[in-house]
Structure formats: C-alpha cells, structure tokens
Structure 1
Amino acid sequence: MNSDINENFDWQNVKVTPDGKYLRSSFPGLWKPSAERGNHSLSPSEWLQGKRELDDVGDYWRVYNKLYNLESFIQKHPGGSDWIEMTRGTDITEAFEASHVVNVNKVEAVLAKYYVKDAEHPRNSPYTFKEDGFYKTLKRRVEPVFKKHGVSPTQRILWTQDILAIGFITLSILAAWSENFVLTIVAGLFLGLSTTAAHNSFHLRDSFRKYYFDLSAWSSYEWRISHALSHHLFPNTILDYEIAVFEPWLEMLPSRPKTFFQRYGSLVYAHLIYCVMMPQDCVRRAHLWYLGKTKPRPENFIILLELLTYIYFAPSVWAGVRCWLIVLAVASYWVGLVGINAAHHHPDCFHDGDDPRQDPDFGLCQLDATIEKAEEIHKTEFAILTTFGEHPLHHLFPAVCHSKLHLVKPIFEKTLEEFLGRNRSLSQLELFIGTHKQLARMTPNKGQ
C-alpha cells in the first residue's frame, strides 16, 4: 500500500492526500480513491477495482491478516462462484463474517486449507470483530436458531416473489396491448415490488430468482457489488457506492460542501431522481459497453426483451416504447422512494464525517447507520420483503432470508441491550423527513 495514505492530516469537508488521489474517512484507516466521488458513469466493477488497489493483496483474498488463494474454490463455493470470483484481490473480512452464520467452525476450517501467507500491511477497514464484542457474541447466540430453521427462503416467500414477477409480466403486456395508462402504472408498481423482493434473492446463494431483479433494468450481478459488497459492508461511509453515486445531487455526507440548492432543492428534485434511476442505469451500462470498460452479461438483455415484447403487442412502436418507459419510471420511483428513505439517512444515523464510535465493532457500526421502522405494518412479511424492512437485522445478517430474521429478534434485542441499549425505531414518515434533514445537514455529529 502506498505510504502516503498512512500519513496524518488535519482536514475539513473533503479530505484528501496531497496528491489528491485518496479521500480520507472520519474512521481512522479507511480510504477511498477520490476520483470516484460524483462519477455517475462509475461502474460497480470500477468501484471494486478501486478497492483492489487500496487493499493491495495481489491475486489473493484477504481475511483479517491472512492471505488465501481461493482460485480452486471458486466453483466449489456453495453460495455461487460470483461471490469468490468478483472479490479476487480484495479484503473480504467483512463479507466473510457477515455471510457465514451457521457451521462457522467448518467454514473457517475450509478457509484455512487455502492459506498462503500473512498480510504485510494493515487492513483498509476500521471495523473490529472481537470474540467478546457485540457482533461475534450475537453470531454465536443466533447460530443454533439458524442451524435449526435454516437461512433459506420459505416456500411462502418464494411464491410471493413468483407471483409478483409473473404479475408484472402479465400486467405489462396487457398494458402495452391495451394502451391503458392505469394498467401501465399498476404494472410498474408490480415491477417495483418485485424488484425489492428480488433484492432478498441476490443476497443469498444462487438461484434463478435473483434474475427477477434484472427485470428492472438493473443488474443483479452489479448490485451484488454496489449493494451487497459496498453499501452493506460499509454503510454511510466513503466506501458506500450508494452514497457516492448520487453525488452531487443528493449529498448525504455532512462533511461534503453543499449549496443551498443541494440542501433544500432536493425536496423537489429527489422525486425526479427516483423516477429516472432505472432508465439512467440502462444508459450508463450501454455507455460503459461502448467504451469497452465492461462487457455485457446475458441477463443484461432481459430488459431489451421486455421492450421488444411491448412493441410486439402494442398497437405501434411508440406505444410499446412509451409503456416500457412508464413502467420503468414507476418501478424506479417505488424502489427509490422506499429504498433511500428505508433506514439509513436520518441525522441520528452515522454518516462519514460524524465522529465514529471509539471501538468500531462491525455489528454496532451497522446499527449506528440504520434505524428500524416502528409501525406494525412494516413488520409483516410482505412489507419486510417489499420495503426493505427489518433493516438493522438484515444488515447484520444479509445472507439470511428476510423470512427467517424474526426468529432471532429476541436474541438480538437481548444482546443489544447488554452492549448498547435498545434498538432505535422511527415511523416511515419520520424517516422520510429525516432524509431531507440529512441532505440539509452540514454539521457533523460529535461524540458518537
């Protein structure tokens, strides 16, 4: 790792090394290539390449302070080969811990077979996993429950996902054929619900249902990087892709300079951003293909197949294109509205620039960046699946199906009370208002 990023600097707002190459977090020891901030064409693969440069482990995989060669394990990985292949050359400590909650001793024994050597420099991560800390203690306590009941989806969850996806396909074709505006809106809503439900699937071991996410024009493969490996493991920090990709329009970090328009204009234009997230991603991906920065994957053409289907059934080409655009805009708005206002962007949540906790236990830092929804309606299985519910528990155990999280809720609350106190909860309205307060906030929170 470059020696210049280990120097100490006094900084305000955006903090970089003298050469301008690296951005410094308020977490000691966490860095990010500064050129990536506000780069709307940045692909998740490019984000991952930036992480490789900082982690600096060559062709190996790092877990804590040891390097492993998992090349021969890629096709053997029970969760699917993508997770191992895409993380080549990076520190996977957080992903390793968060993804394995049952048979942990066996998993660690398998990993040990691929040991190569010890790492030569500190990790580019502030998080700790002490055996007597909150997260490791919680993992030991919930393991017997997940071992008994499993971590995979229930049949009811699978049927719900199937119904939403089939409902979207059926309604959207009928909408294109009939040119019925109301039906087009409903089809878009079904796509939005199906997309949030499919988010549950791409966190889990491979199955065809992860491709329900690709019906939305987003890529389940890319979201495994930008969402599962970036946002989930480093929420609200400079390593959170989902923070950086919206800059400068949605400036969530209090340490970033903000104009009056950015702070308060977002009350209006944020809704436009929600509407164009999916269509814009199609354009971004096509542009990166054209530049040769990324290569198409087979599932990327699902969205083109949808467009051609609408054109085929619609009375005219324009009617089919219009149906496609409206459906994407409605679905995009749903996911943007519920996703960005789901749990993270309230002034009481940690955002990079705020003072971090002194002992940055991974689990407690996840909870610092999330707030649970208080209403009973958001505790139902359907709401959890389609509105990013049970967010604190989901961040602690992202590789566990949403349908199984409630089983460990009492253990979670008891363990949390021992280490931190009660879990925080707010109404959806309070979270929505809090997002806009956070966008306006320029003063970092002190004394976390």
Structure 2
Amino acid sequence: MAPKEIDEVPSSFPGLSKYPTDRDKPFRLAEDWIEGKRKDDNIGNLWRIHDKLYNLEPYIHRHPGGTDWLTISRGLDITEAFESAHMVNPEIVERVLKDFYVGEATSPRISPFTFKENGFFKTLKRKSSPILKKIGSGPTPGMILMEDSLVALCILFAALGAALDSWICCAISGCFLSCVEIGAHNFFHLRDTWRRYYFDIGLSSSYEWRITHFFSHHLFPNTVLDIELKLIPSYEFLPHFERSWFQRYCPIVYSHFLYCFAFWIDFVKRWYHVFKGEKSIRPENLIVFFELLLMMLIAPTRMGGFVAWLVVHTSASFVFLEVGQNGQHHHPNIFHDGDEARKDDDFGFGQIDATRDRAETVFQNLFLVLVTFGHHTLHHLYPTVCHSKLPQLEAVFIETLQEFEEKWIKFPHWELYLGCYKQLARTERFNVPELRKEISTTTFSLTK
C-alpha cells in the first residue's frame, strides 16, 4: 500500500501545484513517469521552455547531444533540462531555438523552480560559460582510460569466475561491474557516445535511466517529481507521508538484502512488460543475455555458467546500491519536499539544498569521483559536464556562493551513510533555511 499523505499540500513549492499523475503507482516504469508528466504539462507533441512552445521535431536528428534527449522529452516542459544542459554559448542556443517557436503557453508551469536573470543559477551559468568554452565539457583521456579499464577487469574476472567455477572471482567481477555502471552514469549524461552503453552491461537500462535519473531526479531532486524517491519498494523519503514503524526503522537491517535484488526487480519488471507487449525491446537490452550465453559456454557446465552470471549481477546490484543510495541526497539536514523551503525558489538553490558532498579529501581523487558519484553538488549544477572537468569549476562555484552569501556544505561519509536511514525514520518537517544557518555551529565541513 502506498504511504498516505498527511495533508493536502502536494509540495513545499507553490509552483509545483499539482500532485504528479501516477506518482504512487506500484512498480512504475520510466515510461510511466514520462507519460504522467506529459498529461500534467498538457502541451500535446510540442516542447515547452519557460512560457514559450516549440516544435523541435525537425531538429531531433540535428541535435548535437543526440536524438534521445528530444525524443524522450516530446510533450514536456523541458525548461530545467534546457537551462542546465546548455551551459556554453547560451546566446547561440537561444538564436537556434527561435526558428522553432510556435506560440505562447496558455497555463503556468508546473515546476518547483525559477530562473531569474539575476538569480543564483543564471549568475553561475554566465560565469561558467567562458571556462567551459576553454576546457570543454567532454571526458578527458584519463577518464576514458579508467572507465575502459574497469570494463576490461569486469570481463576478465567474470570469465575467470565462470571458467574456474569461482564465486569469489564472480563477486569481484560484480564489484567492478558496479564501478563500470556508476562510471557509465557520467557518460550517459553527456552527448551521445557508445560508452553510455557500458551501463547496459548490468541489469539496468541507460535509456530508462536517462528518464528516471536525468529528467526526473536531476531536474527535480528530492521533490514529488523525483521518481528515484520511489524506486525501492517500501521506501518513502518525504517527511509529509505517514509511514509504519517497519518502514521507518527496519530499512537499516533489511535494505542490504534488498540491494542484492533491486536491479533484478528492475530487470524482471522490464521484461515482464516487454512480453505483455507494453514496452519495446531496445538492442542494448540484449547485452546481458549475450553475457549469459558466453558464461555458459566458458563454464564447465551450463548451470555453472548460469550461477556465475547470477553472482556477478547480484554482487553488482548490492555494491551499486550501497554506494548510490546512501551518499548524496538523504539526511535529515537535506531538503526533502514537505520541509519548509527557502523563499527564493531558484533552480540552483534547489540543487544545493537537495545535495551534499563528502567532506573527506580522499573523495576528491578522480577515480573515486568516477565510481562513487563524487562532486555531487557540482554534478547537479553541471549535469552534462564530465566529472573530470568539474574540479575546474569549483572556484567559480565558490565565488558565486560568496556573492549570494551561501555555503557549500559537506558531511563526513559515515554521517551521510547513516543519515539515509535517519531520513527514512523522520516524519517532522524542517525549515531548510534555518538548518543551513545552524550547520555552521556543527562539526560538519563547509566552504564559504
């Protein structure tokens, strides 16, 4: 049963005035989120940016980032995606956009965020554009080498595990596979590249994650529009929902078992809807079956190859969720929809209020950044910039924070890890602006 909302307020933000269609539908697909948002945005087959409507159909195959971004977002208000994805030469992008203008929107946007010209995000964007023109936004050779090496190690240990009937080698392969997938997350944010399909070596889908992770989570983190808050059964992170004692206090025990099977649930759900004719097969969805075939051919017995395949993907699911679920967004000190939001609903403030970074300097290492979703606040502000380039944007980020008298708050890793379970247990609503003021009196790290 879905958690019951305590009151009728759908969101902390006045602009997010409609509760998302089908938000509480059990086992939602990525496509369900898109269809629900299309119904709510109600603009037909057009694309909305701020209060203007565009027909981008003729531009889909000319889009520099690739076709997926526009085909996925047909029928949506893409204001947040447009603003955050085009950090370089925004004036050129605006000129191109004028060729596809068809009219004005007739209803207000259903969104928690605004983009005022003198606001935090647009100021940061203007300051960042010259830097990104100089350094580029794509991956460095070192970043590519690290990701390719992880793939090679994953394949090597999977082959050894199957051939030697070694669960230890298979588990090691699974650990490397989780690193591959976390690293591939960096690549599927960027313009189309074949390395985004590294994500599909696991049980998940890079195409589906572009929907759930970019269009939903990245653009609307920790709000009722964030589908990632509902991907794990029985989890409800928002404080304005009633939850049972089991939902509040038992995840710290059972979640580690659930993490082993979370990607399997995703996998079974996908293929269940494919066989029912409700979902189309994409070529990259077949990669895992080629893996299974190869492991069964390498192994002494077919059953041994099948078991090895199971161990690899179960290990990968466990490690991926242990790293990804507990590190960046969930802590009682982090904003979740239902808390009292700041009065300035700037998109950039929405990102920094809903994210935290790890305070330990070891997590500044580029390899650890790649495999632990590092530099997370910067990643949310610059989602289409490779992680390898984010350190060069820190100075301008801090400068903009100082201009707006804001802080960059970082927590110790274990505080963030345990904070996820504290957040699941809390039901009281907090005042986020006051919490940000109080943070300076704690031992947590902050940069101002």
**Per-residue CA shift, 1:211-246, capped at 9, x if unaligned?**
000001110000000001100000011110100222
Which of 384, 392, 414 is matched with 1:399 structurally? 384
Aligned with 1:32 (options 19, 23, 32): 19
**1:28: Cα distance to partner?**
1.3
Distance 1:268 1:433, change over 3 A: same
1:361 Cα shift? 0.3
Q: Is 2:295 the counterpart of 1:310?
A: yes
Q: What is the Cα-based RMSD across aligned positions, in Å? A: 1.3
TM-score when scaled to structure 2?
0.94
Residue number in structure 1 paired with 2:445: none
The residue number in structure 2 matching 1:323 is 308
Alignment of 1:267-346 (within 5 A): 267-346=252-331
Distance in 2 of aligned mates of 1:206 and 1:71: 18
**Identity across matched positions, percent:** 45
CA contact (8 A) 2:20 2:225 kept: no
**Please, which moves more after superposition, 249-258 or 436-445?**
249-258
The residue identity in structure 1 corresponding to 2:20 is P
One-letter amino acid of the counterpart of residue 427, structure 2: M
The change in CA–CA distance for 1:98 and 1:60 in structure 2 (over 3 A counts) is same
Aligned-partner residue type, residue 135 of structure 2: H
| 2:414 aligned partner | 429
Contact 2:53 2:105 in 1 (8 A): yes
Structure 1 pair 350/245, CA: closer, same or farther in 2 (3 Å)? same
Distance 1:15 1:314, change over 3 A: farther
Q: 1:293 to 1:14 in 2, by over 3 A?
A: farther
Q: Is the 8 A contact 1:176 1:314 kept in 2?
A: yes
1:385-430 alpha-carbon deviations (Å, 9 max, x no partner) = 1000000000000000000000010110111122142200011100
Give the letter aligned to residue 111 of structure 2: S
Count, aligned residues = 429
Counterpart of 1:13 in structure 2 is 5
The answer to whether residue 68 in structure 2 is matched with residue 76 in structure 1 is: no
Q: Which segments of structure 1 move beyond 6 Å, counting only runs of 4 or more?
A: none
Partner of 1:198: 184
Pick from 145, 148, 153 the counterpart of residue 134 of structure 2. Answer: 148
Partner of 1:229: 215
User: 1:238, 1:244 within 8 Å by CA — same for their partners in 2?
Assistant: no
Which residue of 60, 82, 95 maps to 1:96?
82
Which of 393, 402, 425 is residue 440 of structure 1 equivalent to? 425
Query: Compared with structure 1, are the counterparts of its residues 389 and 447 closer, same or farther at alpha carbon in structure 2 (3 Å cutoff)?
Result: closer
What's the CA shift for 1:189?
0.5
Secondary structure at the residue paired with 2:171? helix
Secondary structure class of the residue paired with 2:408: coil
- Helix, strand or coil at the partner of 1:411: helix
For the residues of structure 1 that align with 2:405 and 2:333, how far apart are their CA atoms? 15
- Cα offsets for 1:129-171 (capped at 9, x unmatched): 1111000000100111110000000001011111111211121
Moved more, 211-220 or 327-336: 327-336
Structure 2 unaligned residues grouped into runs of 5+: 434-448
1:44-63 → structure 2 map (5 Å cutoff): 44-63=30-49
1:372-392 Cα distance to aligned partner (Å, 9 max, x none): 110111111001110000000
- Please give the alpha-carbon distance, in whole angstroms, between the structure 2 residues aligned to 1:100 and 1:235: 19
State the match for 1:7 in structure 2: none
Deviation of 1:199 after TM superposition, in Å, equals: 0.3
1:319 is paired with a residue whose SS is: helix
2: distance between equivalents of 1:51 and 1:287? 23
- After TM superposition, give the deviation of residue 87 of structure 1 in Å: 0.3
Preserved CA contact (<8 Å) 1:32 1:51:
no
Contact 2:65 2:190 in 1 (8 A): yes
2:371 to 370, 382, 386: 386
170, 174, 177: which one pairs with 1:184?
170
Q: How much has 1:447 moved relative to structure 2?
A: 5.7
Report the residue type matching 2:186 in the other structure.
N
Q: Note the alpha carbon deviations across 1:54-78, whole angstroms, 9 max, x for none.
A: 0011110000000000000000000
Q: Distance in 2 between matches of 1:113 and 1:302?
A: 40
Residue 345 of structure 1 aligns with an amino acid whose one-letter code is H
Shift of 1:14: 4.7
Secondary structure of 1:442's aligned partner: coil
For residue 346 of structure 1, give the secondary structure of its aligned residue in structure 2: coil
TM-score, with length taken from structure 1:
0.94
State the match for 1:414 in structure 2.
Answer: 399
Residue aligned with 2:53, SS: strand
Distance, in Å, in 1 between the alignment partners of 2:83 and 2:47 is 14
1:85 corresponds, among 51, 66, 71, to 71
What corresponds to 1:5 in structure 2?
Answer: none
Question: 3-state DSSP class of the match of 2:22?
Answer: helix
Tell me which residue corresponds to 2:236.
Answer: 251
- SS for the counterpart of 1:75 is helix
- The correspondence of residues 162-177 of structure 1 with structure 2, limited to 5 A, is 162-177=148-163
Amino acid at match of 2:64: P
Deviates more, 1:296-305 or 1:237-246: 237-246
Alpha carbons of structure 1 residues 52 and 34: separation in structure 2 relative to 1, 3 Å: closer
Match of 1:133 among 119, 122, 131: 119
8 Å CA contact 2:259, 2:317 repeated in 1 = yes
1:66: which partner in 2? Answer: 52
Equivalent position of 1:108 in the other structure? 94
Match of 2:249 in 1: 264
Tell me the CA shift for residue 34 of structure 1. 5.0
Match of 1:377 among 312, 337, 362: 362
Are the aligned partners of 1:384 and 1:402 in contact in 2 as well (CA < 8 Å)? Answer: yes
